[in-house]
Amino acid sequence: MTLTLADRPRVLAVDDDEMSLMVLEKILGDEYELVKVHSGAEGMQILKAQTFDLVLLDYLMPDLDGMTMLRQLRARLETSEVPIIMLTGDMTAEREAEGFRAGVTDFLHKPFIPDVLRLRVQRILRYEYLQSQLEQEVARQTALANARLQTSQRIFNQVVLALAQTVDVKDHYTHGHSERVAQYAQEISRRLGDDASTQARIHSIAMLHDIGKIGIPAHIINKPTRLTDEQYALIQSHTTLGAEILQTVREFPELAVGARSHHERWDGHGYPDGLAGEAIPRMARIIAVADAYDAMTSRRSYRDPLPQAVVHAEIAKGRGTQFDPLFADIMLQMIEEDTDFTMRDTGH
HEC states along 215-268?
A: HCCHHHHCCCCCCCHHHHHHHHCHHHHHHHHHCCCCCCCHHHHHHHHCCCCCCC
Burial class (CB in 10 A: 0-12, 13-18, 19+), 183: middle
So what's the pLDDT on residue 302? 62
The domains found in the chain, sorted by start residue, are 5-140 (3.40.50.2300), 171-337 (1.10.3210.10)
**Backbone dihedral region for residue 15 (phi beyond 0: left; psi -120 to 50: alpha; all else: beta):** beta
How far is the C-alpha of 294 from the C-alpha of 186, rounded, in Å?
Answer: 14
Is the preceding omega at residue 272 within 30 degrees of 0, hence cis?
Answer: yes
Question: Of the candidates 155, 173, 154, 247, which has an alpha carbon nearest to the alpha carbon of residue 208?
Answer: 247
Looking at residue 5, the DSSP 8-state letter turns out to be G
How far is the C-alpha of 108 from the C-alpha of 37, rounded, in Å?
Answer: 18
So what's the pLDDT on residue 202? 95
3-state helix vs strand vs coil in the chain, percent to 5: 60, 10, 30
DSSP bridge pairs for 319: 323
Segments in the chain below pLDDT 70: 1-6, 170-175, 301-302, 346-348
Give the Cα-Cα-Cα angle 254, 255, 256 (nearest 5 degrees): 90
pLDDT single digits (tens) 111-143: 888 888 999 898 898 887 777 777 788 888 888
Kindly give the interhelix angle for 308-318 and 282-296, rounded to the nearest 10 degrees: 150
Q: Is 298 helix (H, G, I), strand (E, B) or coil?
A: coil
Catalytic residue set: 213
Is the preceding omega at residue 224 within 30 degrees of 0, hence cis?
Answer: no
How far is the C-alpha of 47 from the C-alpha of 153, rounded, in Å?
Answer: 45
Q: pTM score, two decimals?
A: 0.61
So what's the pLDDT on residue 301? 62
So what's the pLDDT on residue 53? 92
The answer for residues whose C-beta is within 8 angstroms of residue 291's C-beta and 6 or more apart is: 181, 206, 209, 262
